[in-house]
């Protein structure tokens, strides 16, 4: 049985508790690193998690129809394969159950502090430690690893009057399960990955459904099916079968990199599939025109669904492409003056990716927050894992680690290799501080942006959440994922400015 020490942490106002390493967040990334540290024999670490259990985005996103768009066998830890997946693309509940089972199996829940919202993380130059203030008390740590993830802070639209809406209103990532939408007039703002799952799930239950679309997404078929009993038995009793399945899925997904990053013209094959799908599934020619994208496929996130277009084609569903001018107490007014009455409003407008509010709470060596640093230089990191001005801090799923074609778990495990080796190097060499050199960081990012300039994400004619306010793509990795795995296999201390505890003691003695 797993051990829990959630209730043993210091309360606010008590003396700060010191640990060697603090991990912030326990989704796939934070949990994976916690498991690795325990496997290495490290015990002096804590995972601070604002939720009541592990899971991250899969704990929080419980909206109807929530599911993954990466095949199940690839969207899981390589060290913890799950032979019990029920279908080729798993739904939210099954993924969350898997994450919880892994935490139990690897016995790391005792190192978690749940319901612990991190309010500030500030570098203390005098102690060469991080001072951490949370809702569960104060902590200090030699090293902090941010694993909060890119899709954790809901982005709310800045629309006139939206705060005065008197009906049910909630973000897709904060779904109100007490709200009964049956027979109601409902509006959904957004047509991204969440919306295309929500719309089919509720379209048959509501009286009317208005889908407010700013940009039409490209949709591909969702090759989803339940696993047959013989397959599940093979996965369970012949592990090699599951490993081969995972390898085949990985290889197939990786072929998309050629079109996405090197020869965007190759994406026309996917575009042809998507256009054929649209032609078959949308009967109304006017509606088909509305939902046909006007940019190259792949420029924005490619989505998969078999029921989104048929849902839009229902008589009680309307796609609205006129911009929203105002939200009133019980209606939405578009810029053409049309007013549509509604009872409930679902906001499916994504997340703060390049401007996360969490950046405001991290204060580096020179007193600037991470937000202030990014405002000046743009959102950038070295190997997505370290940022100059923030010594002894590492990031999982940091800048330019995201993907548009395959499993983020692969990238997360690559970063776990890098960060865990960094911690081992700190111990082995007796290092007091490690901070990535600015020249190394800038050179690395200059190379990234040069590569990104040739990709479909930068040349496809769209605006997306991949770009920061400087116009740079600071979200995606512009190469094969195995190349990122190679770059992060070992910690490269020569790219960092380091100090040692022995050198500090020598300075004090000389004084």
What digits encode the pLDDT tens for the residues 52-87? Answer: 999 999 999 999 999 999 999 999 999 999 999 999
Cβ-Cβ contacts under 8 Å for 206 (sequence gap 6 or more) = 181, 182, 183, 184, 185, 186, 316
Cα–Cα distance between 351 and 173 in angstroms, integer? 9
Cα–Cα distance between 429 and 279 in angstroms, integer? 62
* 382-404 average pLDDT score: 96
DSSP bridge pairs for 137: 134
DSSP bridge pairs for 212: 189, 320
Question: 56-70, 206-220, 492-506: lowest mean pLDDT where?
Answer: 492-506
What is the structure's pLDDT at 510?
Answer: 36
Pairing mode of beta strands 137-146, 393-395: parallel
What is the structure's pLDDT at 429?
Answer: 96
Task: Note whether 303 and 194 are within 8 A (CB).
Answer: no
Higher pLDDT, 154 or 89: 89
Cβ-Cβ contacts under 8 Å for 315 (sequence gap 6 or more) = none
Q: What angle do CA 282, 458, 150 make, to 5 degrees?
A: 80
Higher pLDDT, 436 or 153: 436
Encoding tokens for residue 152? 């954790």
Q: Is the pLDDT of residue 455 over 70?
A: yes
How far is Cα of residue 394 from the mean position of the Cα atoms in its chain? 16
Q: Is the pLDDT of residue 505 over 80?
A: no
Q: Which of the four pLDDT bands, split at 50, 70 and 90, describes residue 506?
A: very low
CA nearest 274: which of 293, 300, 252? 293
Encoding tokens for residue 404? 């548009």
Q: Each residue of 236-275: pLDDT tens digit?
A: 999 999 999 999 999 999 999 999 999 988 999 999 999 9
In the block, residue with structure tokens 């029920």: 86
Higher pLDDT, 424 or 157: 424
* 166-187 average pLDDT score: 95
Phi, psi for 326 (deg, rounded to 5): -165, 145
Encoding tokens for residue 419? 């960060």
Residues in the chain: 511
Task: Note whether 367 and 170 are within 8 A (CB).
Answer: no
Q: What SS3 state is found at 172?
A: helix
Cβ-Cβ contacts under 8 Å for 280 (sequence gap 6 or more) = none
What is the structure's pLDDT at 378?
Answer: 87
Write out the DSSP string of 283-331.
Answer: --HHHHHHTS-SS-TTSS--EE-SSHHHHHTSTTEEEE-SPEEEE-SSE
Q: Is the pLDDT of residue 8 over 60?
A: no
Encoding tokens for residue 220? 């591909």
DSSP bridge pairs for 434: 498
Task: Note whether 134 and 13 are within 8 A (CB).
Answer: no
DSSP character for 173?
G
Q: Which of the four pLDDT bands, split at 50, 70 and 90, describes residue 352?
A: low
* 362-391 average pLDDT score: 95
Q: What SS3 state is found at 222?
A: coil
Question: 197-201, 294-298, 479-483: lowest mean pLDDT where?
Answer: 294-298
Q: Is the pLDDT of residue 156 over 80?
A: no
In the block, residue with structure tokens 């994400």: 457
What is the structure's pLDDT at 355?
Answer: 60
Q: Is the pLDDT of residue 452 over 70?
A: yes
Task: Note whether 260 and 267 are within 8 A (CB).
Answer: yes
* 415-425 average pLDDT score: 98
Secondary-structure breakdown of the chain: helix, strand, coil percentages, each rounded to the nearest 5? 35, 20, 45
* 120-124 average pLDDT score: 97
Q: Is the pLDDT of residue 41 over 80?
A: yes
Q: By CB neighbour count within 10 A (0-12 exposed, 13-18 middle, 19+ buried), where does 478 fall?
A: buried
């Amino acid at each position: 049985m797993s051990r829990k020490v959630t209730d043993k942490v210091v309360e606010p106002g008590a003396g700060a508790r010191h640990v060697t390493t603090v991990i912030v967040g326990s989704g796939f990334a934070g949990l994976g690193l916690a498991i690795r540290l325990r496997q290495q024999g490290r015990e002096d670490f804590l995972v601070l998690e604002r939720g009541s259990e592990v899971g991250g985005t899969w704990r929080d996103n419980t909206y109807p129809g929530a599911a993954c768009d990466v095949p199940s066998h690839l969207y899981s830890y390589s060290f913890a394969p799950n032979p019990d997946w029920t279908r080729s693309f798993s739904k939210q509940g099954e993924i969350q159950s898997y994450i919880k089972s892994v935490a139990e199996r690897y016995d790391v829940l005792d190192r978690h502090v749940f319901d612990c919202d991190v309010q500030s993380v500030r570098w203390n130059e005098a102690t060469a430690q991080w001072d951490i203030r949370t809702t569960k008390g104060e902590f200090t740590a030699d090293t902090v690893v941010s694993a909060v993830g890119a899709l954790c802070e809901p982005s709310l639209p800045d629309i006139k009057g939206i705060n005065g809406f008197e009906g049910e209103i909630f973000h897709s990532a904060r779904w109100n399960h007490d709200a009964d939408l049956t027979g109601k007039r409902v509006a959904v703002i957004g047509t991204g990955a969440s919306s295309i799952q929500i719309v089919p799930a509720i379209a048959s239950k509501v009286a009317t459904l208005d889908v407010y679309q700013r940009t039409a997404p490209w949709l591909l078929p969702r090759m989803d099916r339940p696993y047959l009993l013989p397959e599940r038995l093979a996965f369970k009793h012949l592990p090699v079968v599951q490993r081969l399945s995972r390898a085949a899925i990985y290889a197939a997904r990786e072929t998309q990199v050629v079109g996405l990053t090197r020869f965007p013209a190759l994406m026309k094959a996917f575009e042809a599939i998507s256009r054929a799908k649209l032609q078959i599934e949308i009967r109304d020619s006017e509606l088909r025109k509305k939902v046909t994208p006007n940019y190259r496929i792949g420029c924005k996130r490619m989505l998969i669904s078999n029921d989104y277009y048929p849902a839009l084609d229902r008589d009680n569903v309307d796609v609205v492409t006129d911009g929203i001018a105002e939200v009133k107490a019980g209606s939405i007014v578009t810029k053409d003056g049309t007013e549509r009455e509604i009872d409930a409003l679902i906001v499916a407008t994504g997340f703060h990716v390049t401007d996360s509010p969490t950046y405001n709470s991290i204060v580096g060596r020179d007193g600037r927050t991470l937000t202030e640093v990014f405002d000046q230089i743009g959102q950038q990191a070295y190997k997505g894992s370290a940022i100059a001005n923030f010594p002894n801090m590492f990031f999982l799923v940091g800048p330019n680690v995201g993907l548009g074609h395959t499993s983020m778990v692969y990238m997360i495990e690559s970063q776990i290799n890098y960060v865990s080796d960094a911690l081992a190097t700190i111990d082995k060499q007796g290092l007091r501080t490690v901070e990535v050199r600015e020249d190394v960081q800038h050179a690395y990012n200059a190379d990234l942006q040069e590569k990104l300039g040739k990709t479909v994400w930068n040349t496809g004619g769209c605006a997306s959440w991949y770009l920061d306010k400087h116009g740079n793509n600071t979200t995606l990795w512009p190469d094969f994922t195995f190349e990122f795995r190679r770059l992060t296999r070992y910690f490269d201390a020569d790219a960092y400015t380091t100090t040692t505890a022995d050198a500090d003691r020598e300075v004090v003695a000389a004084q």
